[in-house]
Structure 1
Amino acid sequence: MKGARTGIIASTLALCLMSGAALAQELRVTVWTGSEAHLKMLNGIAEPFIAKHPGVTVKFETVPVADYTQKLTFQVAGGNPPDAAWMMEDAAPAFENAGLLMDIGPTVKAAEGYDFADFSQPAMALWQNGETVYGIPFSTSPFMIYYNKDMFDKAGLEDPLALAAKGEWDMKKFQEVSKKLVEANPGKWAFEFKDGEGYASRMTHAVLPPIRAYGGEMWADGQCGFDKPEAVAAVQQLHDMVFKDKTIVPPGEQGDYFSGNSAMTVNQISRASKMPEAGFKWGIAPLPTGPGGEAPVIGQAALVVFEQGKNKQLAADLVAQMTTKENVAIMAQFFPPARKSVLESDAFINSNKLVPADQMKSIAAAIVNGRVHPAHEKVPQIFAAMAPKMDALWKPDANVEEALKGVCAAIQPLL
C-alpha cells in the first residue's frame, strides 16, 4: 500500500513538473528600438498580460533598424521567427503575400472592450485584406523636422516652426536658411538625413519628402516616378545642397543632429526620447512645403504575429492587449496612434512631456493629411536594385536626371 501511495505521489509530481514545463513560455517580440524609455514603456504594458498568464514571460529583442527587415527575413526563412514583431510599412506586402503572417482579426475583434472599428480605415489599409487582419498599427508617425534652436538663434534666423506658422517654410526657404546656418555655425552642418542613413538603409526616406513636396512620387500604380520632372527637380535641389552649398551631410561624413553637429534632421516623434541628452534647445516643425503644396509623409509600423511561430495564439493575445485604447494612449507619447479616439483627444496633444502642445498639434495634422511611404510586395528586391543606382547619384559630378533614369530602369521590371 505504501509503495502504491509512493507511486501515486511520484506520478503526481511528474505531472506537475510537466504542467509547469508546459506553462513556462517565453514570447519573443522583435523591435528596432533600443531606447531605455521605449523599452521601459513596453515592458510596463506587458506586465498585466504576464500577470494573467502564469509561467509566461515577454522578451523584447532589439535589432538595429538598419538591418531590421533583413534579419527578420532571415529568422523567418530559418524557421526561427519571433512570436510577434514590429513590422515596417514597406515590408508588409511581401510578408503578407508570402503567407507568413497570422490572421489576428478573430483574436483582436473578440477581445473584451477592444473596439476594432476605432482604428482609422486609411491606417488599416496596408494591414487588412477584407476580413483578414495581418497587423495592428501601433505607430502612424509623420516625418517631422527636428531643429536645433540654439543654432538658428546664433544665425539670427526664425526657426522652422515660426516660419511654418507664417506660411513661409518651403523648400526654397529650407535651402536659403541652410546656407546661413553653416555660415553662422562653422564646422557644423545644416541638415542630416534621417538617422544619418540617407545614403544607405534610409535612402528612400531621404528623397521621398522633397519629391512629394515638388508634387511627385517614387512609384505608384506600377510605374516608377523617379525620372519624372517633379522628382528630378527635388533630387537636384538635394544634390546641390550636398555638393555645391555643402549644407547637407555628404556620404562618408557623420552629422549626428542629436549630438549638436547638424542644425536640422528629419525624424519621427519617437526620437524625442533622445532629446533630454542633447544639451541644446530644440523643436519640431512640419516638413517644408513645395510646388506640390503640403505633402506630409507618414512612416507606419504594426505589430504582427508569425504563422510559423511556436506560440502564435498567445502572441495574438499579447498584440490585442498591447493595442487596447488604454495602451495605445500610453504609447502615443512616442508613437502617434491609429486609433481615432486617442488621436482626437486632448490627452494625445499633451501626451509627450518633451514636446509642447502646439508642436503636437502639427504632428496630429500631419497624420490626418499625410500619406504612407509607398509599399510593394517586392520591396526587398526593389531596394536591392536601387542601391547601386542611388550610389551613383551621390557623386559630385553626377548627372541627376540620368542617374534617376537609371533608378527607374533598374526597378521598373519589379514594379
Structure 2
Amino acid sequence: MRHSSWRRAGAVCAALTAAAIALAGCSGSSSTGSAAAASQSTDTSGQTLNYWLWVDNATDQTWQQLADQFNAESGHGKVQLQVVPAAQYLDKLQTALSSGNGPDAARMKDEWIGQFVKAGVLAPLSKKIDAWSGKSSVIDSSWNAGKVPGKSEIYMMPHQNTALYMYYNKKLFSAAGLDAPKTQADVIADAPKLTGNGHYAFDVRGGAGGQDQWAAWMYAGGAQFVDSSGKVTLDSPTGEQVNQSYLDLVKFAPPGSATAAFAQVQSNFLSGTTAMMIHHVGSLAAVRKQFGQDVGVIPVPSQDPSKPSSLQTMSGNVVFTSSKKQELAWQWETWLLGDAQMLKMSTSPQGQLPVTTAVAANAAFTKDDGYQVALKAAQTAQSWPQLNGTTNVVNATWSPTIQQAFGGQSSSAQMLQKLSADLSK
C-alpha cells in the first residue's frame, strides 16, 4: 500500500530526529536507548501502555481479544490499543512523534525501519532479546527483518511474516506440454509457449504493490540489494541481468500489466488469463476455491535451485525511545510471541505466517502445501533493505521507474542506477 506522506523523506527524518532529541535526550545512537530501557523498573503494575496499530480486517476482533486477555492477567500493567487506518498510519505516527504525542510502542513494517532508526526514535532491543528465555522459540531468520543492513542491532520484534511464492495453473501448463518451472530460465523459455489465444504467461505488475513481486524475482535470481556492510549493490552486473529478464516478460503479459495493481493481477490469474502469479498465502483460499487441485504452489523460480530466495515482508513491534513504559512494552511484545497468542493471531483474518517454530509446526500450517512452501521460502527469503531511502522507493519511485523501463524509455542498467541512488539517500 502506498503512503504518500513518506515521500517527504528528508523532512520526516529531520522532524523525527528533533522529536527524539527533545523527548528522550536521544542522539540517534543505540547506547542511549539501551540506557533508558535499563533504568526502568520491571514493576509495571498500574501502568497503561499506549500501543498503535493498523488492522488488515476492520471487522476482526483478534487484536482486541488479545489485549483483553493480556490486561486480565496479573503481574503487569495494561495495554490500550489505538487503531489507525492503514492509509493514514505512517503520516499520523510521524506527526505524533514529531509533536511529542507519540505512542509508547507500535506495530511496524520491516521496510519502514531504516527511516525510524536514522531518526533515533526506536529503542534497540538486542540486549533484552539475548537475555529473553523465549529467544530460541522464534524462527532465527525472522530477526533479520528488524536490523539495519551492515549492523547487528535489532530494533523490531518479529510478529507476522509473509514470504512470496508462485502459483501456476496446472491445466494451462499441461496444455502447453510443460512442467512446473524450477528456474528463471524455465519461466523465460515457457513464457512464449503459454502466450496466445487470449492467454498470457505472467503479469509483471508495474503498478501499486508490484515492487514486492519484482523484489522476489530479483532475490531469486541472485541479485543483492546491499552487501554485508550495508552498501547498495542493486545495480551490479548480476542485478542488471536479472532485472532485464523480468523486463523481458512484459512481452508475454496481458494488456495493462505494466501499470497493473494487485486486483487486476489476481483477477487475470483466477480467470485463467495468466498461467503464473507471484503472491503469498493471502491468495491461497481464493485460488483453491477457483481451481481446487488444478493450481500448483511452488517457490519463486530461482537462477540456481540450490540457492533459493524470495522476498519476505515482516510486520513486527517496536518500542520508542521517548516512552517511559519501555518495560511494559517489552512485556506486551514478548507476550504476543507466546504459542497460544501466536496461533490465535496467525489463524485469524489478520494472520500471516507465524514466526515461532512451535506454531509453524501446528496442523493449521502443515495441512496445506501452500503454507509449507511459504514457510520453507521464509527460511531463505530476504526483506527490502531497512535503509533510510527504502520507504520512498517502495511507496513512490519504483512504479514510475520500472514503467519507464517497460516502455523502453530507460535501460535495465539505468533503472537500477535510479533505484540504487534512491535507496542510498
Within 5 A, what are the aligned runs for 1:9-408? 27-31=50-54, 33-34=56-57, 39-52=60-73, 57-64=80-87, 69=90, 72-102=93-123, 115-127=134-146, 134-149=155-170, 152=173, 155=175, 163=180, 168-183=181-196, 186=198, 189-192=200-203, 198-203=206-211, 205-220=212-227, 221-242=229-250, 244-247=251-254, 250-253=257-260, 256-259=264-267, 260-261=270-271, 262-272=274-284, 279-281=290-292, 282-291=295-304, 293-297=306-310, 298-308=312-322, 314-333=328-347, 334-343=351-360, 345=361, 347=362, 350-352=363-365, 356-380=367-391, 389-408=401-420
Q: CA deviation digits over 1:136-183, x for unaligned, max 9?
A: 101343211134556556x4566xxx73xxxx4211222344444442
Aligned equivalents of 1:299 and 1:87: distance in 2?
11
Instruction: Give 1:312 shift.
Output: 5.7
Is the contact made by 2:388 and 2:424 (CA closer than 8 Å) also made in structure 1?
Answer: no
Instruction: Give 1:249 shift.
Output: 5.2
Between stretches 215-224 and 76-85, larger displacement belongs to 76-85
Instruction: Give 1:131 shift.
Output: 11
User: Aligned to 1:141, what secondary structure does the other structure show?
Assistant: strand
Aligned equivalents of 1:274 and 1:31: distance in 2?
24
Instruction: Give 1:293 shift.
Output: 4.9
Q: Which amino acid aligns with 1:265?
A: M
Is the contact made by 1:108 and 1:317 (CA closer than 8 Å) also made in structure 2?
Answer: no
Instruction: Give 1:218 shift.
Output: 2.5
Q: CA deviation digits over 1:43-69, x for unaligned, max 9?
A: 4433312434898653544404xx765
Where does the alignment leave 5 or more consecutive residues of structure 1 unmatched? 1-22
Aligned equivalents of 2:287 and 2:92: distance in 1?
28
TM-score where L is the length of structure 2: 0.69
Instruction: Give 1:212 shift.
Output: 2.7
Q: CA RMSD in A?
A: 4.1
Alignment length (residue pairs): 364
Change in Cα spacing, 1:280 to 1:217, as seen in structure 2 (3 Å) is: same
Aligned equivalents of 2:218 and 2:305: distance in 1?
9
Aligned equivalents of 2:193 and 2:201: distance in 1?
9
The percent of aligned pairs where both chains have the same amino acid is 18
Is the contact made by 1:178 and 1:190 (CA closer than 8 Å) also made in structure 2?
Answer: yes
In our comparison, the structure showing a higher alpha carbon Rg is 1
Q: Which amino acid aligns with 2:369?
A: D
User: Aligned to 1:375, what secondary structure does the other structure show?
Assistant: coil
Is the contact made by 1:149 and 1:280 (CA closer than 8 Å) also made in structure 2?
Answer: no
Instruction: Give 1:397 shift.
Output: 5.0
User: Aligned to 1:251, what secondary structure does the other structure show?
Assistant: helix
Where does the alignment leave 5 or more consecutive residues of structure 2 unmatched? 1-45
Is the contact made by 1:208 and 1:218 (CA closer than 8 Å) also made in structure 2?
Answer: no
User: Aligned to 1:34, what secondary structure does the other structure show?
Assistant: coil
Q: Which amino acid aligns with 1:318?
A: W
Q: Which amino acid aligns with 1:339?
A: T
Q: Which amino acid aligns with 2:247?
A: H
Provide the residue aligned with 1:18 in structure 2: none
Change in Cα spacing, 1:143 to 1:341, as seen in structure 2 (3 Å) is: same
Is the contact made by 1:32 and 1:86 (CA closer than 8 Å) also made in structure 2?
Answer: no
Q: CA deviation digits over 1:357-382, x for unaligned, max 9?
A: 43333223222233333222443356
Aligned equivalents of 1:402 and 1:265: distance in 2?
27
